[in-house]
Structure 1
Amino acid sequence: MTRWMMTTAVAMLALTGTAQAQIKLQIGCTATTDCASAMVAVDEGIFKKHGLDAEMVPIAINSNIPAAIMSNSIQIGGPTSTVFLQAADGGLDLVAVAGATVMGPSSNANITAFVRNGITIKEPKDFVGKKVGAPGLGAFLHVLFVKWLVEKGVDPKKVNFVEVTFPTMPDIIKSGGVDAVLTAEPTVSRMLAAGSGSVGARYASELNRSEPIIFYAASRDWATKNPEVIKKFRAAIAEGAKIVNDDREKASASIAKFTKQTIELVKASPPNKSEPELKPEQLAWWIDIMSSQKMLETKLDLNKLILK
C-alpha cells in the first residue's frame, strides 16, 4: 500500500469514526415552551458536544406522543404528566428519562382558559354548556381545568370538551369554532394582540401546584438498550435547562424557532421553569388526581415509571 493510500484510509476511518460518534436522535414535542431545554440543546450545539445528532420534531397534539415513541417515529418525546401516566396505565411500556418543566407561580400564570369575543365568563359555572378546546383530551391543561372545575363545585361533564391543537387555536377562536380554549403562553399573548377575546380564568394559578408539567420519555425497550444515549441526553438536557432558566435571549430564540412564533411574542412572557431532575414522588399527585377523575384503571408503580 502506498503512503497516499494509507493516508486516505486513515482519513476515511477518522471520518467514519466521527459519523458513528454522532448518534441520531429525534425528540418530539408540541409547540409550547416546555421542551425548551431540548430546543436550546439542539440550537446551541450541546447535543452535538455530547455525541448526539438530535432533531426536534413537532407533534400537533400531546396525546399523540406516546404512540410516536412506541412506533419509533421519535425516540424521545415530551408528553405531559397526564398523557404519560394514561399511556402507561393503558399498557404502553414507557419510561421517563429526564425532567423538562415543572409548575410554579410564573408558569401557572401563563396558563389560561381563553374566551372568544361574545362570550362572558365571570365565574367557573359560566363554562357550563360552553364548547372548550383543549390541546389533547386527558392532557395536562385539560386535567388541571377539570380539577379546577370540581374544586369550584362545577360538574365538568356539563362542559363540551373538544381537541384543538396549539397552532390552530388563534384561528378557531377568531372564527368562533369554540367558545374557549385551554392554552398557555405565547399563544395567549398572540390572541390578545389579535383582539380575538379575553382571559376567562387563570385556573392553574388558583390551583397553585409545583408538580411536573412535561418530562422526557422513551420506550423502556429502547431506553434499556441505549444506556449511553440516555446518559448523554440527560447531560445535554441539564446544560440546556440551565440556559433556559438563566439566559432569556437564547431560550426565547430557540422557543420562537420551534414554535414558529415571533421572537417579540415569545419574549412577552418567561418560559416555564426547566427542571431536569425527576423523582417518583413528583408523579404521586398526578396519579391521585387522575384516579379521582377515573382516568386510570390500574395501580401504577411509581418506582418503575422513571428510568434509574
Structure 2
Amino acid sequence: MSGLKVTALGVAMLAAAFTGATHAQTSINVGCTATTDCASAAVALSEGIFEKNGLDVTMTLVGLNSNIPAALLSDSIQIGGPTPSVFLQAVDGGLDLVAVAGASSTSATTFDTAGVVATSASGIEKPQDFVGKKVGAPGIGAFLQVLFSKWLIDNDVDPREVDFVEVTFPTMDDTLRSGAVDAVVTAEPMMSRIIANGTGQVAGYFLETLPERRPAIFYAATRTWADANPEALAAFRASIEEAADIVNENPDKGRQAIAGFTNIPMEVLSSMKLSVSDPQLDQEQLDWWVTTMNEQNMLQGSPDTATLIQK
C-alpha cells in the first residue's frame, strides 16, 4: 500500500512539473514609439495572443525612434520597433542587430497616415517653402525624416537647407503650438490630434509616391538575444502574424490597442486610418532602404542585408 502511495505521489509531482513547464513564459519588453506602426504588437498584447503563445510581454513607449538601438543593446527592451533607416545606421555603426519580423509597410491606401504638418503662421504651402524653416522630426535619420527629405529632393529642394530638430511624438502638438518649430514631420495617431486641435494643417503627404510594401517599422533584436531565444522568437512571430490579421481586418481593435499603449483618446483615433500591418520582411525591402539612404549619404559602408534578417 505504501508503495502505491509513493507511486501516486510521484505521478502527481510529475504532472505538476509538466503543467508548470507548459505554462512557463518568456518575458519580453517591446519598445515602440507612439505611432500606429506597432499596432500588431499592441493587439497581440491586448487580445492575449502573446500569453496564449507562452510569452509574458510588456510594451514600453519610446520617445524617439533613434533611441531604440541603444535600448536593445542595454537590454532594457528585448525587441524594438526601429524604422529601417535607424536600424541600418545602427548596423552601419557596428551594432549587431537583426530584424525579426515585419510590423508595418507602405500602401497606396494609407499614404495619408503620415505627413508634414505646418502652422498657418509659417506660410508653408509647397516643398520650396521649407527652405530656411525649422522642422521637427521624431528622430533624425528615422523613417519619417528620411522619406520627407527624399520628398524634398524629388521636388528639387536640398534638405540641407531645412533646419531639422528632434521632437518626440507626444510633445509635437505643444512644440508646434509654441512656435518653436514651423512644421513637424509626423504620423498617425499624432497627426490627427494636431489637426483636430487646430494647431496646424497638412502641407504635404510625402509617402504618396512610394512603392508598395516598403517597411515603415519592423521588429528587431540584438543577434545575441535572437540566437539565444529561438523558441520565444518563433512564438513572437506567430503572435505578430495572428495580430496583424486582426489589425487589418478589424481596425477598431487596432485603435483600441493603440489607445491603451499611447494614451491617445479614442475620439482622436476613431476616424483615422491605421498603417497596414505587414509581418513579412525580405532582403529586397532592406535593399530598397539602403539605396534610399545612400542617396542622402547616410551610410558609411555597405550593409550585408542578406545577414540582417533572422531566420
Instruction: Provide TM-score, normalisation by structure 2.
Output: 0.93
Q: Is the 8 A contact 1:186 1:268 kept in 2?
A: no
State the match for 1:231 in structure 2. Answer: 234
Q: Distance in 2 between matches of 1:217 and 1:13?
A: 33
The answer to whether the aligner puts 1:131 opposite 2:134 as a matched pair is yes
Q: Distance in 1 between matches of 2:13 and 2:283?
A: 50
Instruction: Please identify runs of 4+ aligned residues in structure 1 that moved more than 6 A.
Output: 1-8
One-letter amino acid matched to 1:135? P
One-letter amino acid matched to 1:17? A
Instruction: Calculate the aligned-residue CA RMSD, in Å.
Output: 1.9
Q: Secondary structure at the match of 1:204?
A: coil
Give the counterpart of 1:17 among 9, 17, 21: 21
Deviation at 1:5, TM superposition (A): 8.1
Give the counterpart of 1:219 among 219, 222, 226: 222
The answer to whether the aligner puts 1:87 opposite 2:90 as a matched pair is yes
Deviation at 1:206, TM superposition (A): 3.8
Q: Secondary structure at the match of 1:149?
A: helix
Q: Is the 8 A contact 2:106 2:210 kept in 1?
A: no
Q: Distance in 2 between matches of 1:22 and 1:210?
A: 33
Q: Distance in 1 between matches of 2:124 and 2:227?
A: 49
Deviation at 1:17, TM superposition (A): 3.0
Q: Is the 8 A contact 2:99 2:308 kept in 1?
A: yes
Q: Distance in 2 between matches of 1:217 and 1:133?
A: 25
Give the counterpart of 2:290 among 262, 272, 287: 287
Q: Is the 8 A contact 1:108 1:208 kept in 2?
A: no
Q: Distance in 1 between matches of 2:211 and 2:182?
A: 25
State the match for 2:44 in structure 1. Answer: 41
Give the counterpart of 1:159 among 154, 162, 165: 162
Instruction: Provide TM-score, normalisation by structure 1.
Output: 0.94
The answer to whether the aligner puts 1:269 opposite 2:284 as a matched pair is no
State the match for 1:105 in structure 2. Answer: 108
State the match for 2:179 in structure 1. Answer: 176
Give the counterpart of 1:58 among 56, 61, 77: 61
Identical aligned pairs, as a percentage? 51
**Deviation string for 1:96-123 (max 9, x for gaps)?**
0100000112332111110023112222
Q: Is the 8 A contact 1:148 1:207 kept in 2?
A: no
The answer to whether the aligner puts 1:114 opposite 2:117 as a matched pair is yes
**Deviation string for 1:3-43 (max 9, x for gaps)?**
89879966864674355x21111111001110111110011
The answer to whether the aligner puts 1:189 opposite 2:192 as a matched pair is yes
Deviation at 1:207, TM superposition (A): 4.0
Deviation at 1:208, TM superposition (A): 5.1
How many residue pairs align between the two structures? 307
Deviation at 1:185, TM superposition (A): 1.5
Deviation at 1:183, TM superposition (A): 0.3
State the match for 2:152 in structure 1. Answer: 149
The answer to whether the aligner puts 1:246 opposite 2:249 as a matched pair is yes
Q: Distance in 2 between matches of 1:15 and 1:172?
A: 53
The answer to whether the aligner puts 1:69 opposite 2:72 as a matched pair is yes
Q: Is the 8 A contact 2:136 2:164 kept in 1?
A: yes
Structure 1 portions without partners, runs of 5+: none
**Deviation string for 1:188-218 (max 9, x for gaps)?**
1111111112111112114455311100000
Q: Distance in 2 between matches of 1:208 and 1:8?
A: 59
**Deviation string for 1:263-306 (max 9, x for gaps)?**
12112112111111110001111101111211101111111010
Q: Is the 8 A contact 1:106 1:272 kept in 2?
A: no
One-letter amino acid matched to 1:263? M
Give the counterpart of 1:305 among 284, 292, 308: 308
Structure 2 portions without partners, runs of 5+: none
Higher mean Cα deviation, 132-141 or 119-128?
119-128
